[in-house]
Amino acid sequence: MLTPEGRNLLERTQRLLREAEGIEQGVAAARAEPAGTLKVTAPLPVGVNILAPALPAFCRQHPKGTVELRLSERYVDLREEGVYVAIRVGEPGDTRLIARRLVPHQICSFASPGYLRERGVPQHPNDLLRHDCVNFRYQSPGQEAIWPFDVGGKLVEFAPPLASIIDVSNSIAATFAAGARIGTSTTYIAAPHVRRRELVPVLHEFAYDRFHLHAVWPERRRSNSAVKAFIGILQDICPSPAPWDVLVRDHAI
């Protein structure tokens, strides 16, 4: 029969042993080569333009691991759906998740060289009132986008008049690259068109970074080797400043 003091000592010893075992398992997991399937979710444009091009590098570095990339505008509960990492636009929100800020979600205005030769280059957001515009409608909740501009250090929101409306982000850039009007796009979507000289960034000095991209993952995945490796890849492809932001800035007029 243990005395109260002995019982207390036993409980403390058992607790310390469990903690030591957990630390040992965590160290082993951190050292292990990533293997198995890593489930990642992201909004469609982020997945197509940022994550998908990075997957070959991850697979070459970690041949025992695979990535299951789920692209959707739907909010995914990581715990309920067994997803390891989510890329989200804006603040992470859920304080129970570990979050890593990546890069700005920068929005800029663009038009084709042909459109600008015909209609002129806007010098101020107010000039857009004299231009034809293409706007984006969010599939959920179905609202049209409001264009944010930084005017004198203050956020000014612009609702484009008489705009053509599209509800898929990647199609927006392709539409005004084809010569149809002026529109806004995130820089990582528009950058390939800018590189091919199909689009010209305009009003760049008024660009407003409303949000940032964040990677989030559950606390229980903290020591997972595949998660750590994937976060490392994200940091490699999302330096500061982001290459797509630099490209757009350097080609702005």
Which CA distances in Å does 129 have to 5, 126, 162? 80, 6, 10
Mean pLDDT for 51-62 is: 89
- Binned at pLDDT 50, 70 and 90, residue 6 comes out as low
Instruction: Report the C-alpha gap between 139 and 145 in whole angstroms.
Output: 11
Question: Which residues, 6 or more positions from 71, have their beta carbon under 8 angstroms from its beta carbon?
Answer: 41, 42, 43, 44, 47, 48
Question: CA 235 from chain center: how many Å?
Answer: 12
- In CATH, the architecture of 35-102+213-239 is 3-Layer(aba) Sandwich (3.40)
The Cα–Cα gap between 226 and 35 comes to 7
**Measured distance CA(221)–CA(102) in Å, rounded:** 19
Q: Tens of pLDDT along 105-128?
A: 999 999 999 999 999 999 999 999
The more confidently predicted of residues 26 and 93 is 93
Ranges 3-7, 89-93, 98-102, 241-245: which has the least confidence: 3-7
| Higher-scoring residue by pLDDT: 131, 17 | 131
Q: What is the mean pLDDT of residues 160-187?
A: 83
pLDDT at residue 19, rounded to an integer: 61
List, by residue range, all CATH 3.40.190.10 domains of the chain: 35-102+213-239, 105-210
CATH architecture label of 105-210: 3-Layer(aba) Sandwich (3.40)
Q: Give the whole-number percent of the chain exceeding pLDDT 90.
A: 53
pLDDT band at residue 28 under the 50/70/90 scheme: very low
Q: Is the dihedral of CA 27, 32, 37, 39 positive or negative?
A: positive
Question: Quick one: average pLDDT of 231-248?
Answer: 93
Amino acid at 193: H
> Is the pLDDT score of 17 beyond 90?
no
Mean pLDDT for the chain overall: 86
pLDDT in tens, 72-96: 888 888 988 999 999 999 988 778 8
Nearest of 197, 196, 185, 191 to residue 247 by alpha carbon = 191
More reliable by pLDDT, 174 or 11: 174
The whole-number average pLDDT for the span 39-46 is 93
pLDDT for 16:
62
Judge if pTM exceeds 0.75: yes
Q: What is the pLDDT of residue 20?
A: 54
CB atoms within 10 A of CB 136: 20
